[in-house]
Structure 1
Amino acid sequence: MRFAKVVSAVFLLSGSMLAMADDRGIYIGGGVTRSEIDEARFDDKDDSYKFYAGYRVNNYLAFEGALVDFGDMRDGKERFDGQSVQANMRLGFPIGQRIRLFGTAGVHAWHADDDVAGKSDDMDGLYGYGAEMDVLGGLGLRLEQETLEVGDVDLDQTSLSAYWRF
């Protein structure tokens, strides 16, 4: 979490040096994630990946879909290995010329290979927040924190990714 604070500070401080282009349109992206379950009966984390695509309606609103792998987590004899397909809405607030803080809310259909979550698949809610910065042309960077309900557990997911706007 400390890394997330440092990157967020860099985003905020560097925003006034760059100019933002028109934000509307399609974008795709991908990056690395750190998934973590910290429950009384299960506690572990793992690194994995996330791919996403979306459409920015304007500087403030975007709709997005994502494919996420949760990694392979173990705690004693218990194991959690799962994936998620997500649909969400992002409400963003531009700060400076290139930086956008945002909140996320949506749903995700998930499948888990092992039964720590109480079920093997279902559809649940997700919410989160983050910051993104348009770096150069259509290229941008994003740092986000999401909490996903996965059956009986809450999975926290931190992602660092790059995106390309068309």
Structure 2
Amino acid sequence: MLLRNIGFVSLLSLLSFQALADDKGLYLGAGVSNIETDKTHLNDEDNSYKVFAGYRLNSYLAFEGAFVDLGQFKDKNLDFDGKSVQASAHLGIPLGERVRIFGSVGAHAWDADGNAADDDTGVNLTYGAGVEVDVFRNIGVRAEYEVLEVGNINLNQTTASAFILF
């Protein structure tokens, strides 16, 4: 009986190491975003989407690329419609086995139509923070807040996403 219990505990400990080992690899995800602008004369918000792919090196570091619809904003004399391609690094801290908080910093190449941004295209800074929850072994959800600089406009993006880790 004692030998059986030791074998069972040993098997459980191996399974927990397997779960930690699975925390790296390729992941794909998508989500819906709410984007607000910091311009007082273009005070508006829009719903949009984000599609992302990344590679998690471990529980602490991941690299990610994303495509983001920056939304459409319209006022009396100003309008904006933009898209963005991002590359960022995510630095995270696990809180238990299923929850991870992270900060992100990177760059994004954007393309905007309309007259609200100074330029039509550019490359600017993006930064943010978020939390991920692993719902199942390789499926999780994420909530994040990002600031994307687009010319002379800062766009504040809040996103709810789901992702799958391969």
TM bracket, shorter-chain basis: 0.7 to 0.9
> Identity of aligned pairs, percent?
49
Give the aligned partner of residue 26 of structure 2.
Answer: 26
Q: 2:114 maps to what in 1? A: 114
Deviations 1:141-161 (A, max 9, x none): 000000011000111000000
Give deviations 1:14-73, integer Å, cap 9, x for gaps. xxxxx8542110000001001110213321110010000000000000000000001111
Q: Tell me which residue corresponds to 2:36.
A: 36
Whole-Å separation in 1 of the counterparts to 2:38 and 2:106: 22
Secondary structure class of the residue paired with 1:137: coil
Partner residue in 1 for 2:103: 103
Gaps of 5+ in 1: 1-18
Match of 2:71 in 1: 71
Helix, strand or coil for the counterpart of 2:44?
Answer: strand
- Which aligned pairs between 1:15-164 and structure 2 lie closer than 5 A? 21=20, 22-164=22-164
Distance 2:124 2:74 in 1: 22
The CA distance in 1 between the partners of 2:98 and 2:133, in whole Å, is 5
What SS does the aligned partner of 1:119 have?
coil
| Greater C-alpha Rg | 2
Partner of 1:136, secondary structure, is coil
Shift of 1:78: 1.3
Report the Cα distance in structure 1 between the residues aligned to 2:40 and 2:113, rounded to whole angstroms.
20
Q: Which moved more, 1:44-53 or 1:74-83?
A: 74-83
- Which portions of structure 1, spanning 4 or more consecutive aligned residues, are displaced by more than 3 angstroms? none
Aligned residues: 148
Taking structure 1 as the reference length, what is the TM-score of the superposition?
Answer: 0.86
1:128 Cα deviation from its structure 2 partner = 0.2
Unaligned runs of 5+ in 2: 1-15
